[in-house]
Amino acid sequence: MKPKKIRHALTAATCGLLGVNSSDSLGEEGDWSFDSAVLYYSEVDRVTAVEPVISATRDFGEARALNLKFVFDTLSGASANGATPSDQPQTFTRPSGKGAYTAASEETPLDDTFRDNRFALSSQWEQPINRDYKTGFGINFSTEYDYRSLSANANLSRDFNKRNTTLNTGLSLAYDTVYPEGNIPIGLSSMVIDDGQANYRSEFNATRGDSEENKDILDLIFGLTQVIDRKTIMQVSYSFSDVSGYLTDPFKIVSVLGDDGRPLEYRYEQRPDARQKQSLYWQVKHQFETDILDLSYRYFWDDWGITSHTIDLRYRWILDGRHYLEPHIRYYDQSEADFYRRFFIQGESLPDHVSADYRLGNMQALTVGMRYGMTLRNEQELSLRLEYYLQSNDNTESVIPGILNDMELYPDVEAFIVQLSFKF
Amino acid sequence: MNDRPVKLIAADSYWIGSFEAMASPCELFMEVDEEAQARQLLNIAAQEAWRIESKLSRYLNDNPVHLINNSGGNPVEVDEELAQLLDFAQLCWQLSEGLFDITSGVLRRVWRFDHGSQLPRQQQIEQVMPFVGWQKLTWSRPFLTLLEGMEIDFGGIGKEYAVDRTLQLLQQHTDRALLINYGGDICTGGMRLSKQPWSVGIENPSHPDTPKGVLKIRRGALATSGDTRRYLIHNGKRYGHLLNPKTGWPIDAVSRSATVAAATCTEAGLLATLALLQGPEAETFLQNQDVQYWLTS
Amino acid sequence: MSVSCFAAKYKDDESMSVKLFLMTVVVVLSLAGCANLGVEPWQRSVLAKPEMQLISDPLSAGLDDHIYFSKEASSGGRGFAGGGCGCN
């Protein structure tokens, strides 16, 4: 008795013979195909995330398809809150105002308040309009303990030149809401620490604003895909994103230090209420005898003063036809945001916007990994990916006060990534 | 240039073009307005069918297939299209675990399916078997090396491939509804203006040329594999012309023909052929593939 | 090249728009030669393979986008910027 998916292999083979993309009109109708994965992300001593995802696609014939994706992710651990280490233990107030967390002496302060679960659902519909035009629409919804996002997107593409050249454009609109426990902290206000003072509650409440804030996001993308030759395809695209609303991280603070480098107070961070991001992206894929090379470069810049370069290289080394090994390397380089400061020294005037979130600083990051995949008997695919991520942040403060000269102000962030995928 | 007849007639809301190719009556249904366009499409289709026929035919003396079949054990360099067909044939050979094999054509030297009653002797079959078997040739794109005495035969996929290629070509010239029917191998494209499906007559195997039923097809392709016309009867037992390349004998068929619906004609034809190659397991095979099928015994 | 020099260079608005213009010109010029690039429809067997699609594994791409969106300040490029979570 033949296994069922000989038909999938046959369809793929006929698509190869007739030179059509298997996701075009010559796909199987009425069949659901699934792609699933579980991601395990773990930072050394910090955040751990487990993220299962499942995606189902149904072909309705004539290149019309519906895709549904469900993601669940669970986050635990601790994340740097932006404060500097000190030679004595430090105490910080939890976002809710009830309780505190501490950092030991010489330890980078980490906030372990969040233990979050997120659910996200998206659906996407694609269809041709006529021989040359294709379009698609989708909606996405995501919710977690203190954050909710709703978005819709649409895209249009047009083929030219015997489908060798394709122009595409896309638009996405999103509306996000953040409603942290304890309400949104008032930016740049001083963090109130509970020392047992009688009016702690009212002092704390004075630093809290609304229960929720929103942000609007508009994304535009323009892309061009070009077939270079039988075995090479290339793409360039330009993206534009306009975000406005509450862009601050309500859990991050900035240390205000004395001349000796010890903290005098902590201020809640405040980012601008608008951000415009742009990027240029280029990608090429080329097949050698059997192996495939995938190389891409992205140049990003925004009006917060951040620019970055990302280079990503993958090489799929086909072993005997049913297995492959794919090494991967990614290099990332980012320049800091205009308002990024590691700390403030007493006497400096606080600007309108400041953040000590290391993710906005000068950094370089390297990812190296390997993926192994195999096709099973009934054309199902299984793969395992292992990656190592190392991020190092640079100092741009001209003066390092007192005790901080003996401390690690910019610890490396290291993470391990493991992902198991199954297509069926 | 070509003196093969090509006929165009007008029907209800469409044009029907017809010609002969690959030893089959070929029909092209086109829902276009102008006769001039219908004629243009018909010419494109006929030229493409004849091009593929002459490229893949065993019977012509200077085409690529003839070169390959008379290469005396030497490697032959093939062009892109043949390379793709050979890749495809190899995949089908692997997927069918050796039952679908384009090197099995040499067996026709000992099997003559002329409704007669003469079976070949086992010894005769054994003399030909050394030349049957894809595993015996070397396909190293773009070079194909057959052992001397081996032959390749695209008869099992040529017609369906021509149907699919022709549809692709015609769809570069029109968005209108098309139906291509090359001797029962059918493919459709575009959407009919009336939103009605095309009606296709299915032949009754016991009484060829009398439609058994009418099949309605809106999109996709249909292909039939079968031995309604070529067989032997010996001692009351019917021997169809589909041979098992591993034994050299006809498949022990319960069904006389299989018709399968799929997205492309090539895929439908392969599934129909693979089904019959399963012998008594044909129905189980088709059920497992989750396709629409009709089996006649 | 020191990182702070690099950062200072790109903070200058004027040099940024010159750079954008140059990038666009390079991209457009390299694509102007595209009229004669490409293959015939029957030569697309390799390009049709799932592994040769520009995003051959959308699930992994989405997971990676989520990781880098939460650890770095840049996002987007090849598809929509992602986000939709409170992780940044």
In tens, the pLDDT along A192-216 reads: 998 888 899 889 999 999 999 999 9
**Three-state SS across chain A?**
CCCCCHHHHHHHHHHHHHCCCCCCCCCCCCCEEEEEEEEEEEECCCCEEEEEEEEEEEECCCCCEEEEEEEEEEEECCEECCCCCCCCCEEEECCCCCCEEEECCCCCCEECCCCEEEEEEEEEEEEECCCCEEEEEEEEEEEECCEEEEEEEEEEEEEECCCCEEEEEEEEEEEEEECCCCCCECCCCECCCCCCCCCHHHHHHHCECCCCEEEEEEEEEEEEEEEEECCEEEEEEEEEEEEEECCCCCCCEEEEECCCCCEEEEEECECCCEEEEEEEEEEEEEECCCCEEEEEEEEEEECCCCEEEEEEEEEEEECCCCEEEEEEEEEEEECCCCCECCCEECCCCCCCCEECCHHHCCEEEEEEEEEEEEECCCCCEEEEEEEEEEEEECCCCCCCCHHHHHCCCCCCEEEEEEEEEEEC
Q: What pTM was computed for the model?
A: 0.69
Say whether residue B285 is in contact with chain A using an 8 A CB cutoff.
Answer: yes
Regarding whether B44 and B102 lie in a shared domain, the answer is: no
Q: What is the mean pLDDT of residues B26-41?
A: 88
Cβ within 8 Å, pair A164-C88: no
Regarding whether B148 and B72 lie in a shared domain, the answer is: yes
| B10 part of a folded domain | yes
Query: Which one of C48, C53, C77 has the shortest CB-CB distance to A15?
Result: C48
Regarding whether B28 and B171 lie in a shared domain, the answer is: yes
Chosen for mutation from C70, C72, C88 (greatest number of chain A CBs closer than 10 Å) is C72
d(CA B217, CA A11): 20
Cβ within 8 Å, pair A2-B278: yes
Q: What is the mean pLDDT of residues C33-62?
A: 80
Give the chain B residue whose CA is nearest to the CA of A9. Answer: B95
Q: What whole-number percentage of chain A has pLDDT above 90? A: 76
Spell out, as residue ranges, where chain A has pLDDT lower than 50.
1-2, 23-29
CATH number of the CATH domain containing B138:
1.10.3980.10
Residues in A closer than 8 angstroms to C38, CB to CB, are: 161-162, 164-165, 226-228
pLDDT score for A189? 93
Collapse the DSSP code of B77 into the 3-class scheme (helix H, G, I; strand E, B; otherwise coil) and give the result.
strand
Chosen domain end from B163, B193, B223:
B193
| B24 part of a folded domain | yes
Regarding whether B148 and B68 lie in a shared domain, the answer is: yes
Query: Which one of C10, C31, C87 has the shortest CB-CB distance to A307?
Result: C10
Size of the A and B interface in Cβ pairs below 8 Å:
70
Q: Has residue B193 got a pLDDT over 80? A: no
d(CA C38, CA C36): 7
Regarding whether B126 and B74 lie in a shared domain, the answer is: yes
| B78 part of a folded domain | yes
Residues in C closer than 8 angstroms to B168, CB to CB, are: 41-42
pLDDT score for C34? 52
Say whether residue C42 is in contact with chain B using an 8 A CB cutoff.
Answer: yes
Say whether residue C45 is in contact with chain B using an 8 A CB cutoff.
Answer: yes
The alpha carbon dihedral of A219, A51, A177, A183 has a sign of negative
pLDDT score for C37? 83
| B255 part of a folded domain | no
Regarding whether B31 and B17 lie in a shared domain, the answer is: yes
Cβ within 8 Å, pair B80-C41: no
Size of the B and C interface in Cβ pairs below 8 Å:
10
Nearest-CA distance C57 → chain A (Å) = 9
Chosen for mutation from C44, C45, C46 (greatest number of chain B CBs closer than 10 Å) is C45
pLDDT score for A21? 60
Cβ within 8 Å, pair C42-B87: no
Residue pair A41/A415 in contact by the 8 Å Cβ criterion: yes
* Whether ipTM exceeds 0.95: no
| B13 part of a folded domain | yes
Give all domains of chain A, ordered by start, each with its CATH number. Answer: 1-30 (no CATH), 31-423 (2.40.160.40)
Regarding whether B174 and B50 lie in a shared domain, the answer is: yes
Q: Has residue C65 got a pLDDT over 80? A: yes
Chosen domain end from B193, B216, B248:
B193
pLDDT score for A14? 85
Per the structure block, which two tokens stand in for B115?
Answer: 């409704």
Regarding whether B134 and B78 lie in a shared domain, the answer is: yes
Chosen for mutation from B290, B291, B292 (greatest number of chain A CBs closer than 10 Å) is B290
pLDDT score for B10? 80
Regarding whether B52 and B72 lie in a shared domain, the answer is: no
Query: Which one of C39, C41, C68 has the shortest CB-CB distance to A229?
Result: C39
Regarding whether B143 and B83 lie in a shared domain, the answer is: yes
pLDDT score for B46? 93
Say whether residue B273 is in contact with chain A using an 8 A CB cutoff.
Answer: no
In tens, the pLDDT along C6-32 reads: 344 444 454 555 566 556 556 655 555
Which of A25-34, B143-152, B217-226 is the most confident on average? B143-152
pLDDT score for A98? 86
Residues in B closer than 8 angstroms to C44, CB to CB, are: none
Domain of residue B96, residue span? 64-152
Domain count, chain B: 2
Regarding whether B81 and B140 lie in a shared domain, the answer is: yes
d(CA B224, CA B207): 16
Say whether residue C5 is in contact with chain A using an 8 A CB cutoff.
Answer: no
In tens, the pLDDT along A237-272 reads: 999 999 999 999 999 999 999 999 999 999 999 999
Q: What is the mean pLDDT of residues B68-97?
A: 90
Q: Which chains touch B (3 or more CB pairs under 8 A)?
A: A, C
Regarding whether B74 and B140 lie in a shared domain, the answer is: yes
Q: Which chains touch C (3 or more CB pairs under 8 A)?
A: A, B
First and final C-alpha spacing in chain A = 19
Q: DSSP code of B133?
A: -
Per the structure block, which two tokens stand in for B48?
Answer: 């493409």
| B269 part of a folded domain | no
| B188 part of a folded domain | yes
